[in-house]
Amino acid sequence: MASVMRRIVNWARSRSPWMIHYCAACGAIEFPMLATSPLDWERYGYMPVPSPRQADFMAGMGYLTRKTVKLMINLFRQTPNPKYVVAGCNCTATGGLYWDSYATFKRLDDFFTVSGWVPGCMPMPDDWTALLVDLRRQVEGGLKKDVLKDVESYIKSVEEEERKWAKEYYSRSQPPVSYSFKETYPECEENYPDLKLCVTSVGREKLRSVLGELKSKGFQLLLNIDAVDYPKNGVIELYYVVENTGDGSQMAVKTFTPRGDPVVESVHDLYPNALYIEREVYEMMGLVFRGHPDLRKWILDGNWEGPPPLRKDVDTASYVVKTFYKGDRYGR
């Protein structure tokens, strides 16, 4: 009698699987077509739900950053048992286009057991249909629930590898400065009349005073702070691009800092949006902005513990191969 009831329950579950899906990026572009009349997944009993509390299975799509994985773990924990996991697109299986990215994990099954995969970049809608039909068949056959693996230990081990790499990186000696630099302000070092752009150069000790002078002349908007790394020359160039909102003309104020002493004065009090731009340059290039009131990670907060990833001598691809693929360039 118990086996008969179990078969009835499995049959009922397989005929009405409700889904919560998490798409980290472009992995779900082809997914909405499942709800249109040619495929109409509701014919199979599938229904998307807005809350994991009502879901029977979770579909993961797109690349897996540290932040997105943590969100998916929370969704899985909030989903009632028995629950299942399916994965779509190449990024959840091998890392896909982002296999060498420092900021992504490479396989969803490093975190959960997975009951079904659909490859592709992006998977076609009929491939998703085939996967969902297969999941229904597995559930009716008595598929055991998927489980969460020891994710805290895994994530902690990866973060520890990143910290170790950062420590090794900062312990290296920097090459001596071999860089030719000439101050040209207020004259243009380079001039592009068609673009209304003038490039000029100042020493980093004069940067604040020059930007303050330009602001008083109408250059009220800071567009960006661009950083260019020159490891062989031992310097990092900085371009502060400001715009005169009256006539649309722009000034790119170039300066530089030695890689061994990457410190410049903050200009957040002159241009308030520099509060966030400087934080991005800090985390991506490792520059310190003296006087910044809240100099900490912004985009990479909780997502990267290693050295500044956009410096040219930071070989993120080799790190990924060693850490995630154990030396095999093409994964598992």
**CATH at residue 286:** 3.30.460.80
How many domains would you assign to the chain?
2
- Of 89, 124, 153, the residue at which a domain comes to its end is 153
Backbone dihedral angles phi then psi of residue 2, each to the nearest 5 degrees: -65, -40
Asked if 257 contacts 204 with a C-beta cutoff of 8 angstroms, the reply is: yes
Residues 62 and 144 in one domain: yes
Residues 141 and 195 in one domain: no
What is the per-residue pLDDT for 43? 80
Residues 148 and 203 in one domain: no
Q: Which residues of 218-248 are buried (b: 16+ CB within 10 A; e: fewer)?
A: ebeebbebebebbeebbbbbbbbbbbbeeee
Residue count of the chain: 332
Residues 91 and 208 in one domain: no
Q: What is the domain extent for residue 290? A: 190-301
What is the per-residue pLDDT for 332? 44
What is the per-residue pLDDT for 2? 67
- Confirm whether 85 is domain-assigned: yes
pLDDT tens-digit profile, the chain (332 residues): 667 777 777 777 777 788 888 887 777 777 777 777 777 777 877 778 888 888 888 888 888 888 888 888 888 888 888 888 888 888 888 888 888 888 888 888 888 888 888 888 888 888 888 888 888 888 877 778 878 888 888 888 888 888 998 998 888 888 888 888 888 998 998 999 999 999 999 999 999 999 999 999 999 999 999 999 999 999 999 999 999 988 999 999 999 999 988 999 999 999 999 999 999 999 999 999 999 999 998 888 877 888 999 999 888 888 888 877 766 655 44
What is the per-residue pLDDT for 4? 77
- Confirm whether 169 is domain-assigned: no
Tell me the HSE value of 94 on the side-chain side, using a 13 A CA sphere: 12
Q: Which residues of 2-27 are buried (b: 16+ CB within 10 A; e: fewer)?
A: eeeeeeeebeebbeebbbbbbbbbbb
Supply the pTM of this predicted model.
0.79
